[in-house]
Amino acid sequence: MKPELAVEQVKAVLAQAERVVVGSSHDLRLLLTGVVAGGHVLVEGVPGTGKTLLARTFARLVDLDFRRVQMTPDLLPADITGTMVLDQGRGPLVFRPGPVFTGVLFADELNRAPARTQAALLEAMEERQVTVDGESRPLSEHFTVIATLNPTEVQGTWPLPEAELDRFLISVTRLYPDESVERELLRRVAEGGEPRANRLPELQPVLNGASLAGLRAQARSVALSDQTQRFVLALIRQVREDRRVALGPSPRAAVHLLVAAQAYACLEGRNYATPDDVAKLFAPVVAHRVSLRPEASLGDEGIQAVLAAAREAVEVPR
């Protein structure tokens, strides 16, 4: 695939998405970066900021099998992975696949599900397989989890285990929109426009399984200089050494930051990644993997302050 084709595909995705998700090109580009890097994506934010709409829009623009699971406190692990059931016509137990057997699994409000159900996704996310009744069953080669997450302060939510958070390659934080974006939303409603979710069927898929596989292969071939690799390592280790950090980013975080930089460069039409790519993706790839000590958590220094300090301490190579 030619580099310029990747740029054209990204433009087409963003143009289609703008019809539904106003002013979200940055967030959608991050989501695309995570998927093209071969990882899973977490979409965080308070209710009402369009987390679900962003994920559904992406699924509509990528022509893959899509399953949605609404996470609830009574959801069981078997509701995700599948279970053995008695087939009265055949006699023996047969396997009934769960929603995890798909191309894109959309787990809405992941932290409303109990810990056992969240843990059911760990093997699927890491190894792209699930084990049911002692037998391992492979998932789709395109298997990707896109999960939305409400702040833990919201009623009825539980913190995600660190091991599960670490398996998400990138986190997209949905903030309250700028005034100009919110004004555009209101303008569309005032002019009698359809509710945004109702316009999803109008969108035409831009990517399919073959084109996504091509983008992933192209991303893997993006050159990574020693300079870029050293910059990734320096940032990760700087965060770990911060006195405010109780649990720092893992080696998996360093790998994810590197492959995310490759994917980002690919989507920009380049066959090489730069330290600037790493700097842009540092917070989205690392923030959700960091836990602070209680004394830091109670203060006004948040995780973003820790990451900002690391960025300031480590100079971007030129």
| DSSP string covering 72-120 | -TT--THHHHEEEEE-TTTSSEEEEE-TTSSSEEEEETGGGS-HHHHHH
Check residue 300 and give its pLDDT: 46
CB 34 within 8 A of CB 54: no
Check residue 297 and give its pLDDT: 64
| DSSP string covering 169-190 | EEEEE-PPPPHHHHHHHHHHHH
**Predicted TM-score (pTM) of this structure:** 0.89
- 186 residue type, one letter: L
Domains parsed from the chain with CATH numbers = 3-220 (3.40.50.300), 223-318 (1.10.8.80)
User: Nearest 5 degrees, angle CA 67-CA 124-CA 292?
Assistant: 105
Residues in the chain with pLDDT values less than 70: 1-3, 89-91, 152-156, 193-198, 297-301
Q: Which of 60, 56, 58 is nearest to 68 (CA)?
A: 56
Q: Which of 176, 161, 179, 87 is nearest to 125 (CA)?
A: 161
